[in-house]
Structure 1
């Protein structure tokens, strides 16, 4: 009798494990409606043969990341509308916001992950749906927030492939130089034109794609991560800012708050940079008009002329970026918009030319910013 009960129990356990394994492999795609409208909130200068900086501030949600087709459809729709307005040519440099690639960790998951309202619930669905890869990632996780590290590390290979496929394809489709925002990956590098990942620390990195879809240079790493991400994202100071030749001029990329520090700008000047792209990200509903939080965890922040709380986020971003921006260099800062579960992302893009700060209208929804060079 005991053997019979044990055998029955073993069968139940095996059936449960098989059922769980089958469930984790199911990835049905639900229906999703998305707003493809975008508004031109800044257009400065006169069209000429020198090209332009075109910032795209997309309004994105978790459902946009369920598959690459959805994300491509939305971003391509924005660029198609820009092209219809005469804002895209062979010398156009398109700038996308910080972390637009980081949310690719959510690609290909169960419908429940996109339907919950809290980010911690989405993490739970991610872990339950990928028990083996999550467990292995936790074993190799680094930093003070090992759980966040594991979420990104477990999807890193897929994220890197998706990132290159999506943004290389967009650059080639529209024939533009494309600064593909940023993505958090473990020790990323480019080998024979392919973005690859290593086994080291996580870095917030950006790639630039040429008009034929090829990669320009190596990943640009964020030098001074700020906020909560510093708990799992490492500083990229071992790989200083690089300058890339584009049809519009020599381009440097500074990720997020890296644009605040004159030393970063000076490194680009030393390489004869003419353009600076600044993909940015700001979390918190209404934070753009709220008190500036600063970057207190970075020692270099003590040298900044503004202290946390003295001005708003908007004033701090514009003043620090403009003050650090050398004369003769045109720059543009571009922010992500939308909502990711309970995290609202805020910010309003701006541009700089000849010491003049240019801001667009503070409208809701997706935005385009254009600066003729």
Structure 2
């Protein structure tokens, strides 16, 4: 028996000011569901997929001065100093990098905000919500509190049901150089931990960004019975430039051409029928993000209803398989498009700087009935569920009074060192 569901890919445009406080972040996330609203079906289940690392800039929360620097490295340094009382103990005790220590110092508060915001939106709009992804530790449930498990920090996707319950989580396995040490310093997920989640909107498998280009991830999800691939994305470079990651000894290709090796190619298989690939756009400090959000899959209407028109990313030939595709900023020759890409980029000074397109696209997916059994719940998912159900809390970060607490401790230590010693 075939079931039909509505999939929506949302392409937001972000800016540093969207992350300076909780209200701004909640407003920015809600705007994405408002972009999706006109595309939602009233008669069938809806699957809304958001973009990769949409929780990463929460590290800027409370850091207006850091955001004003306009540069990621300067902002990170200033934020580390601002949150030194929380980050320094983690840096020294857990022997991690400053950028990892900064993120871990704020992990609990940011995780709570992210989880509560996504749960609320799934409930409010009545959709299956793929949250995008955010840097998040793994948690364990200890009584009525969640405790961070080690110093690892994963690029993690969460999937919510329309009632706000957590369906599952997935960590990114293959990290880009910008996500590794020297960048935002995240932790590699484990291939063996990837699972497929049977839901009323498909047997969902997550391949975050680069994972969708990797045969080991696609093979794992395919063998697990995935019918709908979820590819949240944050492409950190100009869309009409050259690819940044390519095999040694080969020349880099135009990025849209290289992108055809992810979602569009995957759905040519007999197992994975559809892929939903939302991409974030916008200049975040001095970082550029661009792309074209798409939903790909077989064209079942090709004979009976005329089918979907051939289309493709800019700078690539038209082709079948794109059920929905958000247009890029402009049309033109490859050279003209490369120039526009540079004009859009951070720091260009051009009138088109940051003039990216946001929006949403949708497609109806025709899926067979699922025969999969839900995978076992992990300890991390059990901990997050306890939090979302109000049965457990995320404790505040240590030294939550910041510099006042640190100065008090330093003063006490100085007094203990300098006080007169009694006779023995």
What is the aligned counterpart of 1:230 among 176, 180, 185?
180
**Do 2:231 and 2:263's aligned partners in 1 also have CA atoms closer than 8 Å?**
no
Structure 2 distance, partners of 1:88, 1:128, is: 50
CA distance in 2 between counterparts of 1:195 and 1:56 reads: 31
Q: Show the 5 A alignment for 1:44-193.
A: 50-87=4-41, 91-107=45-61, 109-140=62-93, 146-188=97-139
- Give 3-state SS (helix, strand or coil) of 2:321's partner: strand
Residue from 210, 213, 216 that aligns with 2:164? 213
- Alpha-carbon distance between aligned partners in 1 of 2:161 and 2:118, rounded to the nearest angstrom: 10
Query: Contact 1:89–1:176 at 8 Å: present in 2 too?
Result: no
Residue 254 in structure 1 maps to residue 220 in structure 2: no
Cα distance in 2 for partners of 1:368, 1:89 equals: 19
- CA distance in 1: counterparts of 2:144 and 2:205, whole angstroms: 19
Residue of 211, 223, 229 corresponding to 1:270:
223
- Structure 1 range deviating more: 261-270 or 250-259: 261-270
Q: d(CA) in 2 for partners of 1:233 and 1:214? A: 26
Instruction: Tell me the residue number matched to 1:318.
Output: 260
CA–CA distance in structure 1, aligned partners of residues 107 and 250 of structure 2: 34
* CA offsets 1:66-92 (integer angstroms, 9 cap, x no match): 222222223323323432354576611
- Name which of 275, 281, 296 aligns with 1:331: 275
CA RMSD of aligned residues (A): 2.7
Distance in 2 (CA, whole Å) between partners of 1:234 and 1:308 is 28
Structure 1 Cα separation of the partners of residues 35 and 266 of structure 2: 33
Q: Confirm or deny: 8 A CA contact 1:193 1:215 kept in the other structure.
A: no
Q: Report what 1:357 is aligned to.
A: 321
Output the CA distance in 2 between the equivalents of 1:51 and 1:193: 37
Change in CA separation of 1:357 and 1:114 when aligned onto 2, cut-off 3 Å? same
TM-score normalised by structure 2 residue count: 0.67
Residue 197 of structure 2 aligns to a residue whose secondary structure is strand
Deviation at 1:97, TM superposition (A): 0.8
Q: Render the CA deviation track for 1:149-201: whole Å, top value 9, x for unaligned.
A: 12211111112111101111111110111111111123356899998632232
Q: 1:198 aligns with which of 129, 149, 167?
A: 149
**Residues in 1 aligned to 2:16 and 2:210: alpha-carbon distance in whole angstroms:** 25
1:338–1:194 Cα change, 3 Å: farther
Name structure 1 gaps, 5 residues minimum.
1-47, 297-301
Shift in alpha-carbon separation, 1:321–1:238, aligned structure 2, 3 A? closer
> 1:191, 1:220 → 2: CA distance?
22
Offset, 1:323: 2.8
1:254 Cα deviation from its structure 2 partner: 0.8
Q: Secondary structure at the match of 1:264?
A: helix
Question: Which aligned runs of 4 or more in structure 1 are off by greater than 6 angstroms?
Answer: 189-196
Bigger Cα displacement from structure 2, 113-122 vs 251-260: 113-122
Higher strand share: 1
Q: Answer whether contact 2:133 2:155 (CA < 8 A) is retained.
A: yes
Contact 1:160 1:196 in 2 (8 A): no
Matched, 1:346 2:346: no
Distance 1:132 1:86, change over 3 A: closer
Question: Unpaired runs of 5+ in structure 2?
Answer: 300-319, 330-355, 366-424
Q: In the superposition, relative to structure 1, how do residues 72 and 258 fare at CA in structure 2: closer, same or farther (>3 Å)?
A: same
Show CA shifts across 1:255-288 (max 9, x none).
111001233222222222211110111113x2x2
Rate the CA distance shift 1:209–1:126 in 2: closer, same or farther, 3 A.
same
The alignment partner of 1:212 has SS state of coil
